[in-house]
Structure 1
Amino acid sequence: MGISVVLLAYKEAENLTFLLPKIKEMMDSLPEEYEILVIDTKEPLDNTSEVCAQFGARYINQEFPGFGGAFKTGIKYAEKDKFLILDSDGSHDPKYIPSMYKKFTEENCDLVIGSRYTEGGETNDAKSSIIMSHILNGFFRVCLGIKAKDISTDYRLYRTEQLKNVELENVNYDVLQEVLLRMKQNKPDLKIGEVPISFQKRIYGESKRRLIPFIIGYMKSLVRFTFIRYPILRNIFLYGVFGVLAFVLDYSVSLGLAKTVMKEVPEAASIIGNIAGFIFTFTTNTFWNFKVKGKFLARAASYGGITLLGMGISTACIHLFKNSMNFALLKLIVLVFVSAMQFVLNKLITYNEKIIKSENQ
């Protein structure tokens, strides 16, 4: 039992001098033991270690890169069953700790957020940052299926065991959304509470966030998290990408052979191009898209059979409607229909998840 209070520091010694006494005062008012962990940069950049020693905080150098790496380091070394994290720049006032703890324990929450955007909360950040924050929160709420109003802040109280049971990959601030997604995957009925806070500007120093890399990183993560939550969308996307690349490969090989060594037998050139496209799509979908191993020949036969079926349907449709429709439009419609059909059949047969799971057990 107890609470691990975690602060991620990057040249924050001056702020920690003011913050640590306030944290200790609030923690002393709670009926639980606690520890304070300050996760500093891999190589010290100021006298943070001396400040930690002065106020009885445990000083740890981060072992993984970026903000996400500092967060993971904190999780690794937390020894209590509750995990409280807040900014080390003074923007998160420790006075809200008791109310967050009360909500956490009385309502049996898995996570409590010190929220700027729930009723009663406020932020004194710049207007541009507020607008961007609202936009990001809106997109990520939909993407993650999280109903909390403020999911881009790191003023949070977690259950340590739940944090230790997730694998985090992001190295930037978007790890704050990733951890919610991973926790919800492990516990679909994840209970999140919010306590209103007033977010203040940092006491000393400058923000470490850089706007353009920050936005680009979040856009990438939005797509990645959507694919994690809905893996079928990732499968469809990659299936389409590999299909387009296979078409280019097929066309290039066929055309190249037909114009050089197979001028007299363009049909043979076309067949070789088809085979090259088939090998490419089967290999990429097997190892990169659906990520399966074993029974390679059986899967190849299944994939090949479905490919031949698609070719038969495509040829029949073109033969039936070639005189009544524009060929380019007909080819496009047939291509979309056949590709969708092949994806569904491969998903159900070649890459059936139940079969794959039984093979891996």
Structure 2
Amino acid sequence: MQLSIIVPTYNEAPNVTELVRRIAAAMTGVDAEIVFVDDSTDATADVVHEVAASAPLPVRLIHRDVATGGLGGAVVEGMRAAQNDLCLVMDGDLQHPPEDIPILLRRFAAGDVDLVAASRYLHDGSAQGLADRTRVLVSRASTMITKAMFPIRLRDVSDPMTGFFLLDRRAVDYAGLKPRGFKILLEILARKSLRVAEVPFRFADRFAGESKASFRQGVNFLVQLTGLRFGKMSLFAIIGGLGAIANLAIMWALIELGMHYIPAAIIGAEVTIIGNFILQERFVFQDMKGEASGIWSRFAKSVGFNNGEALVRIPVIALLVNTWHLSSIIAAAITLVLAFIVRFMFHSLVVYAPRKAGAKTSTAREVAEQLDSQAVSPGEL
């Protein structure tokens, strides 16, 4: 059996030597290589080179100057560079015991699955290596939320966020992956239906160094989860929501300073229109920019449409204030909510439309297919 072991690392220099030693000891009878994909700022790369010189199995290093996609991006890059189709992914801190690798291999050898995941929550598994009870509760809650959002794809998976798994890379749709952060297994399972089996494992304490868990990683996970489940529409909604809050805050501040609510609404709208465009370019439609028109054309279309929408929306605010006697802030909030769907449709179908049209289809069918693809990809019905 030929195996490539993918180890993404970030400042794990104290763990490399022991990790390679234990992997090598566990790989008796297996033709294996270790591929470190390193984003470190410490001496991890130097230690890998030093260990590789005397290791009993091939050890390769891919050092990335730009950590595109975070840990998930490192895993994808490692799988692409692997010499073997059978790839095992594990962390570099020894919380994933190398001695369990043969267990995953034996389960995969049964030939009835595409992927074998090591689970902390199956039978004799354990999450004892989590730093404290709070992290255990966060992990459990995150798992429950994730399974609730993907009840079909994850029905046979008790630990969709484990970083310890074995798969045939030929089953992975690389083109469909959008790695972000560190939950690469969730990304793989959510984007393509695979045959999955699990084996229990005991999540160990770190051998050395400090945990990389942080509030920022938690935010990245939530963004990844909503993006996977609801596609671009969810990210568009998040940015739109932030823009709406900023819009209302600017409007409120200007009114408090004595400005009439109409010019205050105009200024708030202009600031957030530009801000929303910048964020949408970076986080929502980044994968569509290559085939769309140039950035200034996209900017003109987006700002022009949103200003046209604002010209309609602001008189509606005035109507709600003067006729229904609503607060100007509440009236603005109502119109922002109603404008959301129209904005998303325009940006998906016009601003980021490919420069060259594809096969000829009816306009209604093309609109329906594009909306379905952009709004819910790759979620489930």
Q: Is the 8 A contact 1:38 1:57 kept in 2?
A: no
User: Is the aligned partner of 1:340 residue 2:343?
Assistant: no
What stretches of structure 2 of length at least 5 have no aligned partner? Answer: 290-294, 357-381
DSSP 3-state at the match of 2:13: coil
Aligned counterpart, 2:349: 354
- CA change 1:359–1:51 in 2 (3 A) is closer
- CA change 1:35–1:120 in 2 (3 A) is same
In the alignment, the residues of structure 2 paired with residue 238 and residue 195 of structure 1 have an alpha-carbon distance, to the nearest angstrom, of 39
Q: TM-score, normalised by structure 2?
A: 0.68
Aligned counterpart, 2:371: none
- Superposition deviation, residue 77 in structure 1: 3.3
Which structure ranks higher in relative contact order (CA pairs < 8 Å, sequence separation ≥ 6)? Answer: 2
Q: Is the 8 A contact 1:19 1:90 kept in 2?
A: no
Q: Which amino acid aligns with 2:104?
A: M
In the alignment, the residues of structure 1 paired with residue 65 and residue 173 of structure 2 have an alpha-carbon distance, to the nearest angstrom, of 16
Aligned counterpart, 2:196: 192
User: Is the aligned partner of 1:313 residue 2:322?
Assistant: no
- CA root-mean-square deviation: 3.9
Q: Is the 8 A contact 2:13 2:43 kept in 1?
A: no
Q: Is the 8 A contact 2:19 2:98 kept in 1?
A: no
Aligned counterpart, 1:56: 57
In the alignment, the residues of structure 1 paired with residue 322 and residue 128 of structure 2 have an alpha-carbon distance, to the nearest angstrom, of 68
In the alignment, the residues of structure 2 paired with residue 218 and residue 207 of structure 1 have an alpha-carbon distance, to the nearest angstrom, of 18
- CA change 1:300–1:357 in 2 (3 A) is closer
Q: Which amino acid aligns with 2:320?
A: C
Write out per-residue CA displacement over residues 275-302 of structure 1, whole angstroms, 9 at most, x where no aligned residue: 4334333333344336585366565554
Task: Choose the corresponding residue for 2:268, options 260, 265, 277.
Answer: 277
Q: TM-score, normalised by structure 1?
A: 0.71
Q: Is the 8 A contact 1:63 1:73 kept in 2?
A: no
- CA change 1:36–1:275 in 2 (3 A) is closer
- Superposition deviation, residue 118 in structure 1: 1.4
- Superposition deviation, residue 194 in structure 1: 0.9
- Superposition deviation, residue 155 in structure 1: 1.9
In the alignment, the residues of structure 1 paired with residue 298 and residue 50 of structure 2 have an alpha-carbon distance, to the nearest angstrom, of 60
In the alignment, the residues of structure 2 paired with residue 123 and residue 272 of structure 1 have an alpha-carbon distance, to the nearest angstrom, of 56
Aligned counterpart, 1:238: 239
Give percent identity, aligned residues only: 16
Shifted more, 227-236 versus 1-10: the winner is 1-10
Q: Larger % of helix: which? A: 1
Aligned counterpart, 2:187: 182
In the alignment, the residues of structure 2 paired with residue 346 and residue 314 of structure 1 have an alpha-carbon distance, to the nearest angstrom, of 18
Tell me how many residue pairs correspond in the alignment.
326
DSSP 3-state at the match of 1:182: helix
What stretches of structure 1 of length at least 5 have no aligned partner? Answer: 259-265
- CA change 1:2–1:167 in 2 (3 A) is farther
Q: Is the 8 A contact 1:114 1:195 kept in 2?
A: yes
- CA change 1:243–1:150 in 2 (3 A) is closer
In the alignment, the residues of structure 1 paired with residue 298 and residue 14 of structure 2 have an alpha-carbon distance, to the nearest angstrom, of 54
- Superposition deviation, residue 132 in structure 1: 4.5
Aligned counterpart, 2:140: 134
In the alignment, the residues of structure 2 paired with residue 256 and residue 359 of structure 1 have an alpha-carbon distance, to the nearest angstrom, of 45
DSSP 3-state at the match of 2:187: helix
Q: Is the 8 A contact 2:180 2:220 kept in 1?
A: no
Write out per-residue CA displacement over residues 221-266 of structure 1, whole angstroms, 9 at most, x where no aligned residue: 23321342233233223223323433454566688796xxxxxxx7
- CA change 1:143–1:360 in 2 (3 A) is farther
